[in-house]
Structure 1
Amino acid sequence: MRLDKFICKSTELTRNEAKKLLKKGFVLVNGEVAKDASMQVHENNSITLDGEALTARQSRYLMLHKVAETICSNVDEVYPSVLHFIDLDKAFDLHIAGRLDADTTGLVLITDDGRWSHNVISPKKECPKVYRVWLRDDILPERIDELTAHFKAGIQLQGEAQLTRPAILVQVDTDEVLLTITEGKYHQVKRMFAAVGNRVEKLHREKVGTIELADLAPGEWRYLTEDEVAQFL
């Protein structure tokens, strides 16, 4: 991880405070003065601050039920960050592994472990994500088989050279479906349905890998279990 992040995980310092101490030469990595905040370090390195050995606290892994009109960012913008719901020290040192749009609700995974979040979102890992989708137009019974096959074969999105990866479409109601995808292109679910002449009216993520939102109430969060964490290590 970055050296400034390691310092923050080992102390009560903010990122800006850590950078100031680095510039002053107070930090040694394996006995050498280190001033580059972006320097990559590992937990087995010897890292000291003003002569005191640093040990990073354990990484944190959480899940949150995102509500609408919030954003998956560490900075408030038009809408507030979902991290306001996390009542932990240094909650804003965490980041979201796989973002949702402001108007999309449901499961988000939150951590301070960059390698773990990379495994969640990397297209190479082909992690399945299940969305419940409410549509503007009903799917007629005579079209569902054709549409299911189309999503399985891949959808041509506007501005994309390649088809989407195979997706699984399951009809729940005339205007409601479950869609499972294994990639995370920009506004992908909305664009997939736009490509077939429909419009997503409401979108809710229920599952990432084997981690399910289940009965976690809107705005609530919990720590992931060891088994839930292990699937992305």
Structure 2
Amino acid sequence: MRLDKFICDCTGLTRSQAGKVIRQKLVTMNGELVKQAALQVKDSDVVSLDGEQLQLIGLRYFMLHKPDGYICSTEDPEHPTVFTLMDEPLIERLHTVGRLDLDTTGLVLITDDGQWSHRISSPKHHVAKTYRVWTADPIPTAAIAQFSEGVMLRNEKNTTLPAQLEIVRETEALLTIHEGRYHQVKRMFAAIGNKVERLHREKVGGLQLPDDLAEGEYRALNQQQLELLRS
């Protein structure tokens, strides 16, 4: 890898900024001052910027328990973003895998791996997402069959994919969907004449939001959890 690209990948500097710090004689490799941006960096080389050793950051995968009132974007003039809850280097490279609404809580996946993100969020892959739903009115048992057959949402041309509804209490249910249309869960209940009062995502694919991950907390995904998402 070229030296300037290595610096960019380690620090978040642009290519021109990396070239500038090299010209300013702030970069050493294996203890020796380097002046060429095109110099190749090998795995065994030690590169330092202004006396601080640089290390490449690999692809990162996190899960976060989103609280109410936070948005799933990098910045917003009115509301805090989920990234304000994280303390990670080069946080500007991270993005959420899909989005939860401002008032929806629960499991959010965050990564800097675009291909992985696409596999999970792309509609054509039909990754299951399970939500706990609280409604304004009692949920009729007929809704189980309605959702399993697919419902027509307002301003849509096609019905939703079959979804699995489990009624927990009169006004509480678990709903598993296999696509990600705009405000889909809320619109599905609206289609049967009910209103979602509260919404919480509990599961994506085979990955369940851990009971010991409190609201506002996050942690890196381990290999076992990554496998649950791949399956």
TM-score when normalising by structure 1: 0.78
Amino acid in the other structure paired with 2:191: A
In the aligned structure 2, how far is the partner of 1:206 from the partner of 1:105?
Answer: 9
Percent same amino acid at aligned positions?
Answer: 46
1:135 matched to which residue of 2?
Answer: 135
Equivalent in 149, 156, 161 of residue 153 of structure 1: 149
Give 1:51 deviation, angstroms: 2.0
- Give SS of 1:110's match: strand
Task: Give SS of 2:230's match.
Answer: coil
Tell me the residue number matched to 1:194.
190
Matches within 5 A, 1:1-233: 10-14=9-13, 17-18=14-15, 20-21=16-17, 50-53=37-40, 57-139=57-139, 143-144=140-141, 146-215=142-211, 216-230=213-227, 231-232=229-230
Is the partner of 2:175 in helix, strand or coil? Answer: strand
Amino acid at match of 1:87: D
SS at match of 1:120: helix
1:92 CA drift (Å): 2.6
Larger Rg: 2
- Of 49-58 and 66-75, deviating more is 49-58
Structure 1 residue ranges without an equivalent (≥5):
1-5, 27-48
> Residues 9 and 57 of structure 1 are in contact (CA less than 8 Å); yes or no, is this contact kept in structure 2?
no
Deviation, structure 1 residue 81? 0.9
Residue 29 of structure 1 is matched in structure 2 by none
* Pairs aligned (count): 198
Unaligned runs of 5+ in 2: 23-35, 44-55
1-structure distance, mates of 2:146, 2:205:
23
Q: Tell me how far apart the structure 2 counterparts of residues 89 and 132 of structure 1 sit (CA, whole Å).
A: 33
1:196-219: per-residue Cα shift (whole Å, max 9, x none)? 100001000000011111211000
The verdict on how the C-alpha distance between 1:67 and 1:179 changes in structure 2, with shifts beyond 3 A counting, is: same
CA distance in 1, matches of 2:176, 2:77: 30
Distance 1:13 1:159 in 2: 42
Aligned counterparts of 1:135 and 1:67: Cα–Cα separation in 2: 19
**Secondary structure of residue in 2 paired with 1:99:** coil
Say if 1:120 and 1:77 are closer, same or farther in 2 by CA, change over 3 A. Answer: farther
* CA RMSD in angstroms, aligned pairs only: 2.3
Counterparts of 2:39 and 2:138, CA distance in 1:
64
Distance 1:52 1:227, change over 3 A: farther
